[in-house]
Amino acid sequence: MQVIVVGAVNVDLVVGGLARLPAPGETVVGDGLRTFGGGKGANAAVAAARAGASVTLVAGVGADTHGQGALAELRSDGVDCSGVAVLAGEPTGVALILVDGQGENLIALGPGANGVLATEHVASALGSRLERAGCVVVSTEIPGVVALTAVAAAVASDVPCILNPAPVIPEVVAALAAGRLAGVILTPNATELGQLAPEGESTGERAAALARRSGAPVVVTLGGEGCLLAWPDGSAEALAAHPVAVVDTTGAGDTFTGVLAARLAAGADLRAAAATAVAAASLSVTAAGARTGMPSSVALAPYL
Ligand code: RIB
């Protein structure tokens, strides 16, 4: 079964090696500029493809050298880019990323083509592909109405859907409140969880509240602490991360989401898929750049 990913494609312009992330108005000197493939949609697509899934990406890039390079890189990872619109007159999305010595980052986004991705394009790209899909992944660095159209199409076709609410956008908050995310697996990090379910005093309480509201399991990614699975019936389980030397945490959440989708599409249950996704996310932070450390299916085999 295929994985379909709907989300952003960026070029990541990265300065790492900073002693600390700068405060507003402060200048901190780091290493030289490095360029990597990025964007939460494209990153999840690559993670799923490396984990062994057959992956189609639905997205938009500009008709520029960044867009050409991004597509070439994605294709070299085996991602089917036939659902990627090349949008004349729009620049490809760019992320400016700062990384400190502990691997923590700051990201500023220039959405470019991601910000003008059209509902019609996404609806038509999903079209008959949904018949062969085992999982649809949607993330929110694209217009909210487009992201929710993709979620609704997956739900209407009874295809398991993962919504990575990164960033949390008003359309997702509204859809949640209106009960329009019923059955959709949400994968927020702790910050996003706090924005989606501000009630409750702990991550566990907030995750339980969110799972009750969405009527589906919530998987909270917790960085170096692994993840928390929370089910609508109030039960929960924590899965620990694997100890690694952290170089760059950029893209760890995307790795998690992409591998979760790949394993669900391969027939794994949610707990088993999350356990593999935690291992993949742990491995992903051991190299600079969002995708460099994403593991292959061979590297993931011990964690299936
Ligand atoms: O999640 C990491 C990604 O966020 C980066 O690759 C960057 O492009 C931003 O979209």
102-149 pLDDT, tens digit each: 989 999 999 999 999 999 999 999 998 999 999 999 999 999 999 999
What is the SS3 assignment for 135?
strand
Q: Looking at the DSSP assignment, which residues form a beta bridge with residue 138?
A: 6, 163
For the chain, list the domains and their CATH numbers: 2-8+39-89+115-303 (3.40.1190.20)
Ligand 1 pocket, residue 37 CB under 6 Å: no
| 94-101 mean pLDDT | 96
Written as six digits, the tokens of 19 are: 């002693």
Ligand 1 pocket, residue 289 CB under 6 Å: no
Torsion of CA 192, 193, 197, 201, to 10 degrees: -120
Q: Looking at the DSSP assignment, which residues form a beta bridge with residue 93?
A: 10
CA 272 to chain centre: 19
- Concerning whether 254 is annotated as a catalytic residue, the answer is yes
Atom of ligand 1 at shortest range from CA of 252:
1
Q: Read off the pLDDT band of 227 (50, 70, 90).
A: very high
Q: Are strands 218-221 and 227-230 parallel, antiparallel or unpaired?
A: antiparallel
- Output the CA torsion sign for 140, 146, 150, 156: positive
Hey, which of 12, 189, 294 would you mutate to test ligand 1's pocket, going by the most ligand atoms within 8 Å of its Cβ? 12
- Which pLDDT score, from 0 to 100, does residue 200 have? 81
Q: Residue 295 Cα, ligand 1 centroid: separation in angstroms? A: 17
- Which pLDDT score, from 0 to 100, does residue 1 have? 77
Closest residue by CA, ligand 1 atom 9: 39
Closest residue by CA, ligand 1 atom 7: 39
- Give me the percent of the chain exceeding a pLDDT of 90: 97
What is the SS3 assignment for 26?
coil
Ligand 1 pocket, residue 5 CB under 6 Å: no
Written as six digits, the tokens of 273 are: 């898929």
Given phi > 0 = left and psi -120 to 50 = alpha, else beta, which region is 179?
A: left
Helices (H), 102-243: 119-126, 144-156, 170-177, 190-196, 203-214
Contacts of 271 (CB under 8 A, 6+ apart): 229, 237, 239
Entry pTM:
0.96
How far apart are the C-alpha atoms of 212 and 214, rounded to whole Å?
6
- 51 burial level (CB within 10 Å; 0-12, 13-18, 19+): buried
Ligand 1 pocket, residue 251 CB under 6 Å: yes
Please check the confidence at residue 181 and state whether its pLDDT lies above 80: yes
pLDDT in tens, 4-20: 999 999 999 999 999 99
Atom of ligand 1 at shortest range from CA of 141:
10
Closest residue by CA, ligand 1 atom 6: 38
- 93 burial level (CB within 10 Å; 0-12, 13-18, 19+): buried
Ligand 1 pocket, residue 141 CB under 6 Å: yes
Q: Residue 197 Cα, ligand 1 centroid: separation in angstroms? A: 23
What is the SS3 assignment for 11?
strand
Ligand 1 pocket, residue 94 CB under 6 Å: no
| Mean pLDDT score of the chain | 97
How far apart are the C-alpha atoms of 143 and 179, rounded to whole Å?
20
Ligand 1 pocket, residue 39 CB under 6 Å: yes
- Which pLDDT score, from 0 to 100, does residue 66 have? 98
How far apart are the C-alpha atoms of 66 and 85, rounded to whole Å?
14
Q: Are strands 10-18 and 33-38 parallel, antiparallel or unpaired?
A: antiparallel
Of 64, 100, 248, 254, which is the active-site residue?
254
